[in-house]
Every structure is written in C-alpha cells, then in structure tokens.
Structure 1
Amino acid sequence: MLDPAPSLDLEVEDISFAQDLRLLAEEARTLAQAELAFQKTRAAYVGAEVRTIALFGTLAAVFVFFALMALVFGLVLSLASVIGPWAATAVGTLALLAIALALGMSARGRVRRMRSALGNDGGGDL
C-alpha cells in the first residue's frame, strides 16, 4: 500500500566554511547586480512613460480649455440676441467667476482639512 520512504543517499561535498562564504558573497553580488540592472530598466521605462503621459495630459487639458471657450462663446452669442451683447458678456463672465469661486473655496477647504489631518497648522491662513 504505502511505499517506504526512499533512502536519502546524498553525497555531501567537502566545502570549507570560508569557501561557502565566498560562494555566498559571489551569488549575493550577482543578485545585487541583476537587481540593479532591473531597477535601472524599470526607471527608464517609467521616465519614458511619464513624459508621454504628461504630454497627453497637457494636450487633453488644452483641448478641454478650447471646448469650454467655444461653449462660453456660444453662450454669449445665444444670449446676445435675447438680452443684448453687453449683458450677455456680463452674464457669461459672472457665471465663470462664480464657478471659479466655488472651486477655489472647495480647494481651500480641502487644503485646510489636509493640514489639520496632518497636524501641520503652520499658523498662516490661506
């Protein structure tokens, strides 16, 4: 039913402790060199990708900006026929300023919350 365990007839090479430590150091050096080469390759890849990501992100932000300007221009043109060109310009400007103010206040609140969470009260007010 159960086979008896095979006998372990291992021949142990006669290696001195100093030789064993030399071999271990050599293997550790080889491993460290391979790890360094691997990390350099990773860093080069990440550097190349970060440049591409930054380029695409910048281009996306530029196109979003142009799209928003087209929207504002369309808003002003549409309102100009209803309330006049000066009033339409004022409405568009005030709407954009209100959105900017709301976003700025939200950012300010988040900065304060982050500072208090980190316990870095710096004493200054934003």
Structure 2
Amino acid sequence: MSPFKSSTGMPENLAGTLCYLFPMVGGILFLALEKRSRYVLFHALQSLLAFGILALAHLLSGAVPLIGLLATALLGLVSVLLWLMMMIHAAQGRWYKLPWIGYFAEKQITRM
C-alpha cells in the first residue's frame, strides 16, 4: 500500500487502480474528485483517454464488413490485457505511461 493519500482519503495506488477498474467512469469520477494527487489524476486521465480510444475503435471496427469481426475480437483481447496490465501497474504504485496517451496525460496533468 502507498503511504501517500489522495484527497479522497484513499491510498494513491488504490485510487489509481480504481481509475482502471471501472473504465471511463473511474477516470471521470477521479478527475472530478481528486484535488491534489498528480499520481491519481495521471491515471484517471490516462484511463479515460485509453478506454475512450478503444471504445471508439470498437465502434468503428464494427462498421467494417468481414475484417471488422476480426478487428473487434482482437480489440476485445487487447482491451482486456491492457485493463489488467494497467490495474497491476497502478496497484504497485508505478507511473507506467502508455505510448502517446501516457505522455499526453502527463503533459496535461503538469498544466493543472
């Protein structure tokens, strides 16, 4: 467990994990509630962006005949693996950044 607490009263690593446990909703919730922990804000924004992009990709791949079925299945697998990986990293207190999305999220958090 992290010795640092977020402004929600939870340990930072637990709050960061919850950002991923409930994709999109967790990110939105912690972006609204968190006031001081850059760690939690980073994971909330990264979760929101990553799962928002995956949801959009699922939607678009469903519109493509034949190849869309394969793409949708592949995206489903990637989504589950990403979800598990990001929860594990957040629970362990790591600032794991996804390519492009993580760097964008970090840049936005430093502006806050």
Query: Which TM bucket (shorter chain)?
Result: 0.3 to 0.5
* Structure whose residues are more often helix by fraction: 1
Q: TM-score, normalised by structure 2?
A: 0.34
The structure whose RCO (Cα within 8 Å, separation 6+) is larger is 2
Q: TM-score, normalised by structure 1?
A: 0.31
Higher gyration radius (CA): 1
